[in-house]
Amino acid sequence: KAGVTQTPRYLIKTRGQQVTLSCSPISGHRSVSWYQQTPGQGLQFLFEYFSETQRNKGNFPGRFSGRQFSNSRSEMNVSTLELGDSALYLCASSLQGKNSPLHFGNGTRLTVT
Amino acid sequence: AQTVTQSQPEMSVQEAETVTLSCTYDTSESDYYLFWYKQPPSRQMILVIRQEAYKQQNATENRFSVNFQKAAKSFSLKISDSQLGDAAMYFCAYRSPTGTASKLTFGTGTRLQVTL
């Protein structure tokens, strides 16, 4: 079974631009969540989608948004990029249930210049 | 809000030896889940082991085991017979029994070096 696939692996953008990151979950997984990883703040939860609906959102500004499609693939969008948005963005998928572990992708490394 | 603390930024172990990584957490909940994830240079977070708080027995996965002390809110990871491939960042994570199952609270990580 293929794992979680994130594209692209690397991205360089300029301040003020917007960016879209993509995540394809493991087949059969309907829950997709996003995390931001930075050296200063560590791993922080961005949001979770299930059946095309956002179920939970972390403490991030409205510039961070996402969506999920009917095939469970998800995208996250960051508008008006700031230097502080430079980070590794990790996507994870899981089955339903509190005991279901998260399966992570390799992440997208975003650099904002 | 729950917090997870990993007090060892870096650890080093010789190949074939045993090492223990520490993790403490703060919560007022009684039923929750704890995880250890490994992040090698490939960046992918890989689940190492998990523990349900209501289970008193410590989880074990091959060379990896935990020492779960619920009263002390401690969840340490023991790696036996360390291998070069164990070198990575290790993150301890907490999942609340309420709210979304996908929201984990992570510690700051411990970088493990494995030497010959």
Q: What is the pLDDT along chain B (116 residues), one digit of tens a residue?
A: 789 999 999 999 999 999 999 999 999 988 899 999 999 988 999 999 999 998 888 999 999 999 999 999 999 999 999 999 999 999 999 998 877 777 899 999 999 999 99
Q: Are strands B10-14 and B110-115 parallel, antiparallel or unpaired?
A: parallel
Query: Residue A48: which of B37, B43, B102 has the nearest Cβ?
Result: B102
Tell whether the model's pLDDT for residue A101 goes beyond 90.
no
> Residue B40 contacts by C-beta under 8 Å, 6 or more apart in sequence?
B46, B85, B87, B88, B89
- Residue B65 CB burial class (10 angstroms; 0-12, 13-18, ≥19): middle
Rounded-to-integer distance, Cα A39 and Cα A41, Å: 6
Tell me if A56 and B103 make a contact (CB, 8 A cut-off).
yes
Q: pLDDT tens digit string along A38-90?
A: 998 999 999 999 999 998 899 999 999 999 999 999 999 999 999 999 999 99
Distance from CA of A56 to the nearest CA of B (A): 7
Substitution target from B43, B46, B92, B110 for chain A, most A beta carbons within 10 A? B43
Place of tokens 């089955």: A95
Distance from CA of B100 to the nearest CA of A (A): 7
The reported pLDDT for the residue numbered A100 is 84
A18, A35 Cβ separation under 8 angstroms? no
Q: In DSSP terms, which residues pair with B13 in a beta bridge? A: B114
The reported pLDDT for the residue numbered A98 is 66
Rounded-to-integer distance, Cα B57 and Cα B103, Å: 24
Residue in B closest to A58 by C-alpha: B103
What is the C-alpha radius of gyration for chain B, rounded to an integer number of angstroms? 14
Query: In chain A, pLDDT over 70 holds for what percent of residues?
Result: 99
The DSSP element (H or E) to which B38 belongs, if any, is strand B33-39
Q: How many CA atoms lie within 13 A of B26 on its CB side?
A: 5
The reported pLDDT for the residue numbered B6 is 97
Looking at the complex, does the CB of residue A92 fall below 8 Å from at least one CB of chain B?
yes
